[in-house]
A = this chain, B = another copy of it.
Amino acid sequence: MREKVTICEVGPRDGLQMAKSRMETAAKIRWIKAIAAAGVPEIEVGSFVPPRVIPAMADTEEIVRQSVQIPGLFVVALVPNLRGAQAAYAAGAHRITIPVSVSEGHSRSNLNRTPMEQVGEVRGIVPWVREQPRRMEIEAACSTAFGCSIDGVVPTEKVVEVATGLAETGVDSVSLCDTVGYGNPSQIKEVVRAVRAAIGDKVQRLHLHDTMGLGLANALAGLEEGIRKFDSSLAGLGGCPYAPGASGNIVTEDLVFMLESMGFDTGIDLQKLLAARRVLQESIPEEPVHGQVPKAGIPKTYRKAA
């Protein structure tokens, strides 16, 4: 039995919020269905933010409503506040992810709040969600946990402090996000260890960007620290509107190739994933795409060496 690793595809949220091109609602649904058909177990399909702030996410309610109809798919939505959590719940989301920047600069720029004020926002969301008849998972995402393009170095103690505050609110899990892609493998290991020492197994997921080309090396570092959940983005779309210099997420196609080649079970069919990439490219052909496996093609050694 191969060990499982769970990938959450964040392209429809983290990718499209930054894309120069706008994807129509029907095209988003086609794309999400193609990703799900490849066996990707979880998709972050959108974010409940004001349309004037991120116009590309204006149809998130409709996207969530349609996505939860896809058999077997676990549907995630980003929400910055209680109002967003309520909208995500009403639309049927299976999990919400609430961003909380560790660095002051990013927090103010992204949410116009201090990190601890945003921890307070999470503290208000959790009891409301727990009171609802349907169970909805709550994840808090520690943004800029490995560096900030505004504030620079983010000390590990600061990550531990914010993660601890978040764990105490009663969220189900805490993720660590290299929002701007400044992290390195040693740092990934150090921060994961320090946060786990503070909050135990509540730290589960890494969200990595490939700004400096270290994305998969950082994922490997996380794997070696026992992380078994990763966010990634088809074609490496993504970035952060409030983090100048950030570039795309780690590429789902390459991540799947690495994990499966190493003997992990992602449940994802790489051929079908490349088909989902073509659906994306047909919808917004002018959008730059990334990824080495799609360029080189799947080699004949794939899954044979392991």
Residues of A participating in the B interface, judged by any CB pair closer than 8 Å: 147, 149, 152-153, 180-182, 184-187, 210-214, 216-217, 219-221, 224, 245, 247, 251, 254, 257-258, 261-263, 291-293, 295-297, 299-301, 304-306
Contact = CB atoms under 8 A, between A and B. Distances in A.
Contacts of A220: 185, 217, 220-221
Contacts of A217: 216-217, 219-220, 258
Closest 10 CB pairs of A and B: A213-B292, A213-B254, A184-B261, A216-B217, A186-B262, A217-B220, A217-B217, A147-B301, A152-B300, A211-B296
Given A180-B299, A212-B299, 19 more contacts: A152-B300, A152-B301, A153-B301, A153-B304, A153-B305, A184-B261, A186-B261, A211-B299, A212-B257, A212-B293, A213-B251, A213-B291, A213-B292, A214-B257, A214-B292, A217-B219, A217-B220, A217-B258, A224-B224
Given A217-B216, A221-B220, A149 B299 contact: yes
A297 B245 contact: yes
A7 to B, nearest CB: 15
A293 B184 CA distance: 13
Most chain B beta carbons < 10 A, residue from A211, A292, A295: A292
A297 B213 CA distance: 12
Contact of A304 (B152, B224, B262): B152
Nearest to A297: B245
Contacts of A219: 217
Question: How many copies of this chain are found per oligomer?
Answer: 2
Nearest to A148: B301
Contacts of A186: 261-263, 306
Contacts of A297: 245
A306 B296 CA distance: 35
A200 B219 CA distance: 30
26 contacts: A147-B299, A147-B301, A147-B305, A152-B299, A152-B301, A152-B304, A153-B301, A182-B299, A184-B261, A186-B261, A186-B263, A187-B305, A211-B292, A211-B299, A212-B257, A212-B296, A212-B299, A213-B254, A213-B257, A214-B254, A214-B257, A214-B261, A214-B292, A217-B217, A245-B297, A247-B295
A245 B186 CA distance: 32
Contact of A247 (B182, B261, B292): B292
Contacts of A212: 254, 257-258, 292-293, 296, 299
Nearest to A216: B217
Contacts of A293: 212-213
Nearest to A251: B213
Contacts of A291: 213
A84 B261 CA distance: 38
Nearest to A298: B212
A207 to B, nearest CB: 17
